[in-house]
Amino acid sequence: MATNGSRFALSASLSIALLASSSPTHAQSDAGATHAMDASVVDASVDAGVSAEAGRSVRVVGCVPGDGRVLVTTLPEIDLECSDDWRSCDLAIDVRVENCTRSRVALRELRVRYRLGGPTLTFEPRWIEPGTSLGTTYRSVGTFTGPIGLEASVVDQQLAPIAHGTLSSTVRNRRREAAIEACRQCRGRWGAWGIHQREGCNCRASDAGRVCEDGADCEGLCVPTGVRVVTPAVPAQCTCPEGCQCRGATRGSGHRARGAGLVCAMSCSLERPATVVSVGRCSDYRWNFGCRSFIPVGARNEPPRAANLARIASYRCAD
């Protein structure tokens, strides 16, 4: 038996099986989860979302019946089929058996091996005539990527094993790979974000660190760092009527103090605090999770606030 990447040639005199010809009859997975496959399956016990579909038998170009070979092929790289960017994906593995012997053969068993195991599918024989080939598609739901192994077993018309071989391939999620590369280009951080741990890229903001006074100034958040004084504070002032010598004046209005033989009414103004607006700097990244203060969009349209007010910026929790 010879193996070569995604294709192997098997002699009909070898013991045990080959790959790719029929409709599944029985399947066993290491996990033991149950799932109904297509209508031709009996007592299917496989990983959730697994199925196999038989294709049409076609004549093999260049295959000479009687040369004793059974060929099994699959692609060296398999792309996940994703409907939602790179997250909701299906795995579809196309395998094909070419019969170059003088008698009919059939795929009897196919073992699919991922990093953490996988199902074993046993098929009801669907015969491949000499000089023809038959394809089968194995399908499974998931986002697994990396190396994958396929072990195929082929039988003759007496259901006796005649060939066995192993294929290797690599499952890729090209959309995810492209998204990760785009994340590098935007100097972002790739990971799982938020309370639902949704995978994606948090790009670095192009305006990171820039001074801002409004949430609209930033790609991400305007994070408060202090205030800018709009009008300065005015301290309380007291005045003494002319001709009086006032002593011990205190803040207030209408305070009466004794002067040089005269009783005078002090006139005092109230202290006016400074008015301020919040200032900050744009966040380093576009997404900002957790609880934090921020300057909202539209803050520039709000009037200045008195500096003695406790709350200068807004506060939120984002997950």
Q: Which residues contact 214 (CB under 8 A, 6 or more apart)?
A: 222, 295, 296, 297, 298, 299, 300
Phi, psi of 301 (to 5 degrees): -85, -5
Amino acid found at 106: A
- List the CATH code of the domain at 2-173: 2.60.40.2550
Domain residue extents for the chain? 2-173, 207-231+274-318, 238-268
pLDDT in 10s for each residue of the chain, 319 residues: 333 334 444 433 222 223 333 334 333 333 322 222 222 222 223 333 444 455 554 555 556 666 778 888 888 888 998 887 888 888 888 888 888 888 899 988 888 888 777 888 888 888 998 888 888 888 888 778 899 888 888 888 888 888 888 888 999 999 999 999 999 999 999 998 888 888 899 999 999 999 999 999 999 999 999 999 998 988 878 777 776 766 554 444 444 444 445 566 677 777 888 899 999 999 999 999 888 899 999 999 989 988 876 556 788 787 7
Q: Output the CA torsion sign for 73, 79, 80, 83.
A: negative
